[in-house]
Structure 1
Amino acid sequence: MSSNYKKLGDYIRPLNERNRDLQVKTLLGVSIQKILMPSIANTVGTNMKTYKVIKKNQFAYGPVTSRNGDKISIALLQEFDEAIISQAYTVFEVIDISKLHPEYLMMWFRRPEFDRYARFKSHGSARETFDWDEMCEVELPIPSIEKQQEIVNEYNTVTNRIKLNEQLNQKLEETAQALYKHWFVDFEFPNEEGKPYKSSGGEMVFNEELDKEIPVGWEFSYLGNYSTIKGGKRMPSGSKLIKEQTDSVYIKVADLGTSKYVQLDNTFEYVPSEVAPKISRYITHKDDVVISIVGTIGVVKIVGESLNGANLTENCMKITKLKRITSSYLYHYLVSKEGKEEIKIRNVGAVQAKLPMYNLESFPIVIPKAEIINEFENKVISIDKVLNERNIESKTLTKLQSVLLSKMSKVKERTPKEVNNEI
């Protein structure tokens, strides 16, 4: 053990408080993104008295690691004062927060080196687990609490800026979506005099397929008539994605993110060079609209410039070569209330839902006049510009987060001489 490294077991203790009185209602789960999030588990008929209670600044982790790929599910509760989690998780806390800062420890758990260590130390024949004894054997540098707080503050400054960008981008996307609804659902786009079309007496015509009126001169058709829809491709049998950068990046559903545009960052994986020719036909291009079709269905994004030529997972389809409509118009339609409802009713499959290609090709779509589409595009371009600028900044900040985490292994105290020099 390095001189400044300490065994974690001397600083943490396990907890096993149960929800016996059913007073705690908030049910959370631990994700591989290392956050506690609302659980999607079906709890009908479940005895919630056996669930474990976790409180603010306490940790939970899933000991079973064989199902998580390269990551271990572990998180620190900060958003709630208390919650309940499955009995499958191990709950623990820092014994003395004046010696070990919980957020400093969570930073250590976020390091990819910790994930590799936990996977290496996991054991078991039927399923591999990283048990409590192994957790206690984890070694990490534990400087003074003042130094820990300094490191946490630096990391949180970057993290909070990323969160702020996400919040601002969400507001911008809501603005663009509200504009879409006003123009193409309420039909209140500006007429030739700049007034709201429908409420100003704009001429409407009844459309039998939609069972509602649409503006005169607009058309109704199906998505397949105005685009080309193609599926992605799974990796060939026996092949695996790699973290090492090649000429072929691979887009998975998990990579689609939360913003309108999906852009390349350091979380993406790559197709090995010798495998790439086998799936070279299944690639995306800038401004293609991508939609997830298996499992989590209906995640819709536009392919950004940085992913032009990227390979696409078989769990998505791309909508490309658009005619008479733009990527932004189609995106906002698919994520609208009306679009989501259409996606939902077109899912098939009892065991695992799926959105088939023919059901996407037959998606009903209204085709506005070209000048209205173009005017809408001009308005959202300015919004998209700010969105992309903030996304680029956030990706830079995410890289800085990784640098800060990697520096933790080299943490050391300032010497008295260094402190005196600062004074």
Structure 2
Amino acid sequence: MELKKCKIKDICNINSSSISSKDKIEEIIYLDTSNLTQNEINSLQPFSFENAPSRAQRKVKHNTILYSSVRPNQKHYGILSNPEEHMIVSSGFITLDIKPEKVEEYDAMFLYYILTQDWVTSYLQTIAENSVSAYPSINANDLGNLCFSFPNINSQRKIAKSLSNLDRKISLNRSINQNLENLAKQIYDYWFVQFDFPDENGRPYKSSGGQMVYNDKIKREIPIGWEIFPLFEGADVQYGFPFSTELFTDEKTSIPVVRIRDILDGTISAYSSEPTDEKYLLQEGDVVIGMDGNFHMNYWHDNRSYLNQRCVRIRTKAGSVISSTQIFYELKPYIKAKEASVKGSTVGHLSDKDLKGLYLINPQSNRIFDPKKIFDNILSMTIHNRQQIIQLTKQRDELLPLLMNGQVSIK
């Protein structure tokens, strides 16, 4: 495969256009750097032109590549496909647009995938950490001076299409999971907050006059016949193992270690050769919580990872009617309130005492009300999709450098 070397600045217009009063725009749709991660936009904000943030400056269009200038390792980057009219992005982004005279030689999506390779991210992070600014950052010249090898335009488009197909499947699974999580939360609120679960006759319990009794432990009414258990009685609770950081390695071993940083994304960032007890082994559906800093919460998705210290896993007990989903949503308000109570630069800590002050509702099922079965089915689908996301992401990340350096070709 014949390759052509060139710098980004030779094929792209960088930070090419900014908004001004001459544009006569009344309202903008604003994208901040924190709301874009690995081409996933989680929020867009409408503003009147007069009230827009001072950083709302950069104009974008179809196939504009966005790359955050701050902390490249946080991966706040993406490529826009037919953005909304009057969409404006933060000046914290560096914008790249293929020059009009180069669009028949260079494909924007291919360039996006080149820039998102792990080695490129690591290289830019190194530059950022050596910058003179108050925080690790890069500038337009750092991106513009990057030099890459490009195959012919047809090969670029084939490679980009193959990788974007994987990304579309990943994005679809994330969207499905978001809908499943919204559904689970809606059902939880209806059954365990409003207590309008179906009674023996299929009617909403509380709204139909179902009897309620005040419970002093949780300071609210619950349906008659339901119980309140301390967390450690209603579920199986296990703290993580104090793995030695000196024995951590990037090389895969039989002991993948789940640290606080891994909980939200469900990733593994370290392995160990240190022997440990099987009681620290996680299972699919375990609720995992970080106990320092941000108290991240998530469901775990495999049966082979071990939990590190300063994390806790909470598992349903055999024969219990309490599900992982119920545990997650009952504990979340307390965990988030504890997190919010931490002041200033103080690092928050979730203690054994904190957890022992928490309670779980033990519902009473009936012939048509089986909350654990419903919640477990939803969680099973969510975990299956998450496993697919992890596998597809792994395939994409392994395929990306091979396609870029010509070791693998697409016919």
Q: TM-score, normalised by structure 1?
A: 0.74
The alignment partner of 2:30 has SS state of coil
Which of 146, 162, 174 is matched with 1:166 structurally? Answer: 174
Deviations 1:224-258 (A, max 9, x none): 44345454467656x48543211221224443347
Question: Which position in structure 2 is the counterpart of 1:346?
Answer: 338
Correspondent of 2:300 among 299, 303, 312: 303
Which residue number in structure 2 is paired with residue 109 of structure 1? 115
In structure 1, distance between residues paired with 2:383 and 2:347: 32
Partner of 1:292: 290
Alignment of 1:48-67 (within 5 A): 48-49=53-54, 52-56=57-61, 57-63=63-69
Q: Counterparts of 1:104-183 in structure 2 under 5 Å?
A: 104-119=110-125, 124=130, 130-183=138-191
State the superposition RMSD in angstroms: 4.1
2:359 pairs with 1:364: yes
Shift of 1:134: 4.3
Change (3 A) 1:211 1:235: closer
- The two structures have a TM-score, normalised by structure 2, of 0.75
Task: Kindly indicate whether the alpha-carbon contact (under 8 Å) linking 1:284 and 1:318 is maintained by their aligned counterparts in 2.
Answer: no
For 1:83, the aligned partner's letter is I
Question: CA, structure 1 residues 182+36, in 2 after alignment: closer, same or farther (shift >3 Å)?
Answer: closer
Residue correspondences, number: 388
CA pair 283-142 structure 1, distance change in 2 beyond 3 A: same
Residues of 1 paired with 2:242 and 2:201: CA distance? 52
Distance in 2 separating the partners of 1:124 and 1:188: 58
With 16-25 and 48-57 compared, the bigger mean Cα shift is at: 16-25
| Aligned counterpart, 1:91 | 95
Moved more, 9-18 or 162-171: 9-18
Between the aligned partners of 1:412 and 1:227, the Cα distance in structure 2 is 51
- Quote the residue 1:251 is aligned against: 258
Task: Within 5 Å, give how 1:27-66 maps onto structure 2.
Answer: 27-29=31-33, 33=38, 38=43, 48-49=53-54, 52-56=57-61, 57-63=63-69
Report deviation, 1:155.
Answer: 2.0
Structure 2 CA distance for partners of 1:35 and 1:94, relative to 1, 3 Å? farther
**Aligned-residue identity in percent:** 20
C-alpha contact (below 8 Å) 2:30/2:44 kept by paired residues: no
8 A Cα contact 1:18 1:50, kept in partner: no
> 1:114-134: CA deviations, max 9, x gaps?
234445666837677655444
- The letter of the residue matching 1:76 is I
Cα distance change on mapping 1:335 and 1:102 into 2, 3 Å: farther
Question: Which 5+ residue runs of structure 1 have no aligned equivalent?
Answer: 41-45, 419-423
| In 1, Cα distance between equivalents of 2:120 and 2:365 | 54
Cα shift at 1:107: 0.9
Unaligned runs of 5+ in 2: 46-50
Judge conservation of contact 2:131–2:137 (CA < 8 Å) in 1.
no
Q: Deviation at 1:388?
A: 3.5
- Change in Cα spacing, 1:396 to 1:211, as seen in structure 2 (3 Å) is closer
Indicate the residue corresponding to 1:5 in structure 2.
5
* Residue 393 (1) aligns with residue 401 (2): no
